[in-house]
Amino acid sequence: MVRRTLPPLTTLRAFEAAARLVSFKAAAEELRVTQSAISHQVASLERHLGTPLFLRLPGRVELSEAGAIYFPVVQDALDRIALTTDLIRQTHAPVSLTVQVYVTVAVRWLIPRLQTFKEAFPEVAVNLDASLLDWEFNPDRADIGFIYTRTPNRPNLSYTLLRRERLVGVCSPAIARAIKTPEDLRHFSFLAVSGTTEDAAIWAASVGATGVSQKSAPLFDSNLLAIEAAINGQGLVVVPQFLVEADIAAGTLVAPLGSDVMQLGGWYLVHLERRGNEKAMRKFLQWIQGLV
Q: Please list the residues that pair with 146 across neighbouring strands.
A: 101, 269
Amino acid 34: pLDDT = 94
Q: Residue-wise over 230-254: b if at least 16 C-beta within 10 A, else e?
A: bbeebbbbbbbebbbeebeeeebbb
- Check if the beta carbon of residue 118 is closer than 8 Å to that of residue 126: yes
130 found inside a domain: yes
DSSP 190: B
Q: Are 42 and 85 contained in the same domain?
A: yes
Amino acid 216: pLDDT = 60
1 found inside a domain: no
Q: Are 189 and 151 contained in the same domain?
A: no
Amino acid 241: pLDDT = 95
| Cα distances (angstroms) measured from residue 51 to each of 47, 56, 135 | 7, 13, 67
Domain closes at, from 42, 62, 92: 92
Q: Are 72 and 145 contained in the same domain?
A: no
Of the listed ranges 30-44, 81-95, 213-227, 268-282, the one predicted with least confidence:
81-95
Q: Kindly indicate the confidence band of residue 215, based on its pLDDT and cuts at 50, 70 and 90.
A: low
Q: Are 172 and 226 contained in the same domain?
A: yes
The overall average pLDDT reported for the chain is: 89
Q: Are 233 and 184 contained in the same domain?
A: yes
119 found inside a domain: yes
- Check if the beta carbon of residue 196 is closer than 8 Å to that of residue 223: yes
DSSP 2: P
223 found inside a domain: yes
Alpha helices in the chain (DSSP H): 9-21, 24-31, 35-49, 65-92, 103-105, 111-120, 173-177, 197-206, 223-231, 245-250, 279-289
Q: Are 40 and 58 contained in the same domain?
A: yes
| Cα(10)–Cα(125) distance, integer angstroms | 36
Residue-wise pLDDT for 1-34, tens only, equals: 567 788 999 999 999 999 999 999 999 999 989 9
- What residues contact residue 157 under an 8 Å CB cut-off, 6+ apart? 137, 139, 270, 271, 272, 273
Strand, helix or coil at 159?
strand
Q: Are 80 and 131 contained in the same domain?
A: no
Is the model more confident about 89 or about 152?
Answer: 152
Residue-wise pLDDT for 106-160, tens only, equals: 999 999 999 999 999 988 999 999 876 567 898 888 999 999 999 999 999 999 9
Q: What is the largest distance, in Å, between two alpha-carbon atoms of the chain?
A: 100
The CATH code of the domain that includes 144 is 3.40.190.10
Amino acid 167: pLDDT = 94
220 found inside a domain: yes
Q: Are 21 and 109 contained in the same domain?
A: no
DSSP 210: -
The CATH code of the domain that includes 38 is 1.10.10.10
How many structural domains comprise the chain?
3
| Cα(45)–Cα(14) distance, integer angstroms | 9
DSSP letters along 14-76, please? HHHHHHHHT-HHHHHHHHTS-HHHHHHHHHHHHHHHTS-SEEEETTEEEE-HHHHHHHHHHHH
| Whether the predicted pLDDT of 277 surpasses 90 | no
Percent of the chain topping pLDDT 70: 93
Domain range holding 229? 166-262
Q: Are 115 and 84 contained in the same domain?
A: no
- What residues contact residue 167 under an 8 Å CB cut-off, 6+ apart? 199, 202, 203, 238, 239, 240, 241, 260, 261, 262, 263
Rounded to an integer, the average pLDDT of 80-102 is 80
Q: Are 273 and 220 contained in the same domain?
A: no
Q: Are 146 and 87 contained in the same domain?
A: no
Residue-wise pLDDT for 152-184, tens only, equals: 999 999 999 999 999 999 999 999 999 999 998
Strand, helix or coil at 108?
helix
Percent of the chain topping pLDDT 90: 66
100 found inside a domain: yes
2 found inside a domain: no
| Cα(228)–Cα(234) distance, integer angstroms | 9
Domain closes at, from 49, 71, 92: 92
- Which of 4, 3, 6, 25 shows the shortest CA–CA distance to 14? 25
189 found inside a domain: yes
Q: Are 145 and 283 contained in the same domain?
A: yes
